[in-house]
């Protein structure tokens, strides 16, 4: 098994006249199921198409895009597994020093807004060559969207890139349909009606829902929020309508989503041979991003958890499809033949590890509900809760010759576990066989107001889970703990809410090494809240912490860090919680005298910072 060609020399060794597709993408070439470029290229190859890879081209030199000449059918363009702006910048908009998806972790090899830059570089040389966009960056920026890094509303990436077609979501079906149309001689500019795609049109097609235009959403935040929710409501592959939005002079047309792949189709994708390795040109160091997933198994796609800060619902979708046990076991057996495999499967999961089937029976006929969620604000009575299939899969995996341990490191929904009448059996199985010292779970917050904004369960569910997990590990005589993740300064969070979380963490003796400050990434409900100040689900106004208060909320979650001391004292003073400044056991920080170089701004958070 060989990698696909990545250089002119490798291309010449294939004896191809020319490639059918040239795949341009903003990360190193890793031929592994966890990398979107690997799956799409191998799906096309399996269908008989010749694909040449162009990873991390020099985006300042248009000649770097011409090494194969013009492909027979077109260019495929993706920023990579991550949005390029998220890849480059922290939540504080500071440049990251490393890129784990690049050789030697070197930052800056891909440009900001890579999808747009790559497409425009191609178009400078190949004026009429078809360009098809895909991947997370294109998918989440397909409509007019709020861009955190420029603090502005930007037009659809499809218009800014001058591309012909944009594939959103998981693109195996769509890219094959597009390839067949191109093969038949249909011009890329004439491709119409492919589910899971967007195109540019001169006029709105008949029968489509006309969304507010770019100018309208860019000039009015309430209109933006209303438009955003209309986009969200039409992600059901059965009931979703064609959507149209005017950009500058032309219109972006989104056709309804593709349905999720069936289990048989998903098994077929994962049965296509891959090397499982980074391209040899990267040497023995390989690519850091691969080390996290090289010996992991993807068991499912989709997530009906629908957290508001997560982009999965708008990209991968809410409907869960799982691979069969046979498919996963076949891949696991292949892992044991890898000379670098030490007997440890690092993960068996997906967006949420313990989701292995659709949430209810009606989805096959009706798709996911548009007007309600499966787990929020209460668990839906129709929700099918069952961990037995997952338990059986894990048992089979750890019985494979050559496998010493099978870990579960993907996220788990603890509220789903607690809703299972036999959830204790799953916790017992997990604790006994599949944890490496600490179990990572994500309660995100404890304030009910903030949890409502997040679309997450109340803290009672988390407390119950902690109690069951602790009791189980004591019974098994295992010294295993929970490592919870929390998000600071999410929309809806006031200083009082942040203090409530800080006090909870102190009482629970939780001292996080890292805290995730809320990051407004494209096309999430939470980002819509952050930009507009409206909760798009209700169109009611919502409080959004900004500026110094945002820094205060983050600091409160790490009170033991000396550099946060002055900011925490200031936050507690402003919130009239001086009772938490002192040396008592309940106090968050000791008294602090603000003098000299340690003096902080005297400005208080904006009015409304407390409720």
pLDDT, tens digit, 9 for 90 and up, residues 416-438: 999 999 999 999 999 999 998 89
Averaged pLDDT, 223-231? 97
So what's the pLDDT on residue 605?
A: 60
Q: Which DSSP state fits 259?
A: P
Confidence bin at 362 (pLDDT 50/70/90): confident
3-state secondary structure of 383: coil
Provide the strand spans (E) within 386-425. Answer: 405-406
So what's the pLDDT on residue 437?
A: 87
Token couple for 10: 């490798």
3-state secondary structure of 540: strand
Averaged pLDDT, 124-131? 96
Q: Cβ neighbours of residue 585 under 8 Å, at least 6 residues apart? A: none
So what's the pLDDT on residue 174?
A: 98
Nearest Cα to 316, choosing from 266, 270, 366? 266
Rounded to 10 degrees, what is the CA torsion of 510, 436, 81, 60? 80
Q: Which DSSP state fits 331?
A: H
Confidence bin at 380 (pLDDT 50/70/90): very high
Segment 580-601, tens digit of pLDDT: 999 999 999 998 665 555 444 4
3-state secondary structure of 297: strand
Rounded to 10 degrees, what is the CA torsion of 557, 560, 565, 568? 30
- From first CA to last CA, the distance across the chain in angstroms is 62
Residue 15 buriedness (CB in 10 A; 0-12 / 13-18 / 19+): exposed
So what's the pLDDT on residue 166?
A: 98
> Please, what is the angle between helix 547-556 and helix 495-507, to 10°?
10
Percent of the chain topping pLDDT 90: 91
- DSSP one-letter string for 246-292: E-SSSEEEEPPPPPPPPHHHHHHHHHS----SB-GGGTTT--HHHHT
Q: pLDDT at residue 486 above 80?
A: yes
Q: pLDDT at residue 505 above 80?
A: yes
Q: pLDDT at residue 604 above 60?
A: no
So what's the pLDDT on residue 436?
A: 85
So what's the pLDDT on residue 364?
A: 79
This prediction's pTM:
0.94
3-state secondary structure of 599: coil
In the chain, the domains with their CATH numbers are: 8-200+249-254 (3.40.50.280), 295-431 (3.30.750.210)
Token couple for 583: 């040396």
- For residue 353, the Cα-to-chain-centroid distance in whole angstroms is 14
Token couple for 179: 């390839």
419-447 b/e (C-beta count within 10 Å ≥ 16 → b):
ebeebeebbbbbbebbbeeebebbbbbbb
Averaged pLDDT, 122-141? 97
Distance between CA atoms of residues 289 and 357, nearest Å: 28
How does the average pLDDT of the chain come out, rounded? 94
Distance between CA atoms of residues 35 and 345, nearest Å: 18
Q: pLDDT at residue 153 above 60?
A: yes
Percent of the chain topping pLDDT 70: 97
Distance between CA atoms of residues 359 and 368, nearest Å: 9
Q: pLDDT at residue 606 above 60?
A: no
184 φ/ψ angles, rounded to the nearest 5 degrees: -80, -5
Distance between CA atoms of residues 87 and 561, nearest Å: 26
Segment 531-554, tens digit of pLDDT: 999 999 999 999 999 999 999 999
Confidence bin at 610 (pLDDT 50/70/90): very low
Measured from the Cβ of residue 1, the count of other Cβ atoms closer than 10 Å reads 8
So what's the pLDDT on residue 609?
A: 55
Q: How far is CA 562 from CA 78, 554, 555, 559, in A?
A: 42, 14, 10, 8
C-beta of residue 464 within 8 angstroms of C-beta of residue 423: no
So what's the pLDDT on residue 592?
A: 65
So what's the pLDDT on residue 599?
A: 47
C-beta of residue 120 within 8 angstroms of C-beta of residue 159: no
Segment 493-503, tens digit of pLDDT: 999 999 999 99
Measured from the Cβ of residue 539, the count of other Cβ atoms closer than 10 Å reads 12
So what's the pLDDT on residue 600?
A: 43
So what's the pLDDT on residue 427?
A: 97
C-beta of residue 547 within 8 angstroms of C-beta of residue 570: no
Nearest Cα to 75, choosing from 20, 120, 8? 20
Distance between CA atoms of residues 571 and 553, nearest Å: 8
Confidence bin at 329 (pLDDT 50/70/90): very high
- Least confident range from 160-169, 262-271, 413-422, 591-600: namely 591-600
Token couple for 406: 């099978």
445 φ/ψ angles, rounded to the nearest 5 degrees: -165, 175
Confidence bin at 607 (pLDDT 50/70/90): very low
């Amino acid at each position: 098994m060989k990698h696909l060609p990545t250089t002119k020399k490798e291309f010449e060794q294939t004896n191809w006249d020319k490639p059918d597709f040239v795949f341009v993408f903003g990360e190193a070439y890793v031929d592994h199921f966890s990398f979107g470029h690997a799956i799409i290229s191998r799906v096309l190859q399996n269908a008989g198409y010749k694909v040449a890879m162009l990873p991390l081209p020099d985006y300042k030199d248009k000649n770097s895009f011409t090494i194969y000449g013009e492909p027979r059918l077109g260019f495929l363009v993706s920023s990579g597994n991550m949005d390029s702006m998220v890849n480059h910048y922290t939540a504080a908009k500071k440049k990251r020093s490393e890129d784990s998806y690049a050789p030697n972790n070197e930052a800056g090899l891909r440009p900001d807004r890579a999808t747009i830059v790559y497409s425009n570089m191609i178009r400078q040389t190949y004026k009429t060559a078809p360009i098809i966009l895909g991947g997370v960056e294109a998918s989440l920026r397909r409509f007019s969207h709020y861009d955190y890094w420029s603090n502005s509303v930007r037009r659809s990436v499809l218009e800014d890139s001058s591309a012909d077609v944009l594939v959103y979501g998981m693109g195996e079906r769509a890219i094959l349909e597009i390839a067949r149309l191109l093969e038949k001689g249909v011009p890329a500019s004439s491709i119409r009606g492919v589910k899971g795609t967007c195109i540019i049109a001169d006029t709105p097609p008949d029968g489509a829902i006309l969304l507010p235009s770019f100018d309208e959403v860019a000039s009015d935040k309430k209109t933006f929020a209303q438009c955003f929710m209309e986009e969200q409501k039409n992600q059901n592959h059965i009931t979703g309508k064609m959507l149209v939005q005017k950009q500058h002079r032309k219109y972006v047309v989104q056709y309804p989503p593709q349905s999720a792949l069936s289990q048989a189709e998903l098994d077929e994708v994962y049965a296509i041979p891959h090397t499982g390795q980074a391209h040899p040109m990267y040497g023995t160091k390989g690519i850091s991003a691969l080390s996290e997933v090289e010996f992991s198994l993807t068991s499912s796609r989709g997530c009906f958890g629908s957290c508001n800060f997560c982009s999965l619902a708008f990209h991968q979708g809410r409907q869960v499809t799982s691979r069969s046990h046979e498919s996963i076991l076949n891949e696991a057996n292949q892992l044991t033949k890898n000379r670098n495999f030490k007997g440890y499967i690092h993960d068996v999961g997906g967006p949420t590890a313990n989701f292995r089937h659709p949430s209810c029976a009606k989805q096959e006929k009706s798709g996911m509900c548009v007007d309600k969620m499966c787990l929020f604000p209460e668990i839906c009575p129709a929700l099918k809760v069952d961990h037995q299939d997952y338990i059986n899969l894990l048992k089979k995996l750890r019985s494979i010759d050559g496998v010493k341990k099978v870990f579960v490191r993907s996220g788990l929904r603890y509220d789903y576990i607690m809703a299972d009448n036999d959830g204790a059996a799953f916790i017992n199985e997990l604790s006994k066989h599949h944890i490496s010292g600490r179990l990572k779970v994500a309660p995100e917050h404890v304030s009910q107001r903030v949890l409502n904004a997040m679309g997450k369960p109340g803290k009672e569910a988390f407390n119950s889970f902690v109690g069951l997990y602790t009791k189980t590990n004591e019974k098994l005589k295992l010294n295993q703990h929970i490592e919870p993740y929390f998000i600071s300064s999410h929309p809806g969070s006031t200083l009082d809410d942040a203090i409530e979380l800080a006090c909870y963490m102190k009482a629970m003796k939780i001292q996080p090494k890292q805290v995730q400050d809320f990051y407004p990434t494209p096309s999430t409900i939470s980002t819509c809240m952050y930009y507009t100040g409206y909760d798009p689900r209700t169109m009611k106004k919502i409080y959004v912490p900004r500026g110094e208060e945002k820094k205060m909320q983050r600091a409160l979650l790490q009170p033991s860090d000396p550099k946060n001391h002055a900011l925490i004292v200031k936050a507690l003073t402003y919130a009239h919680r001086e009772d938490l400044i002192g040396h008592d056991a309940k106090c968050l920080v000791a008294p602090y005298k603000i003098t000299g170089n340690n003096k902080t701004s005297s400005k208080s958070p904006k009015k409304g910072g407390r409720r």
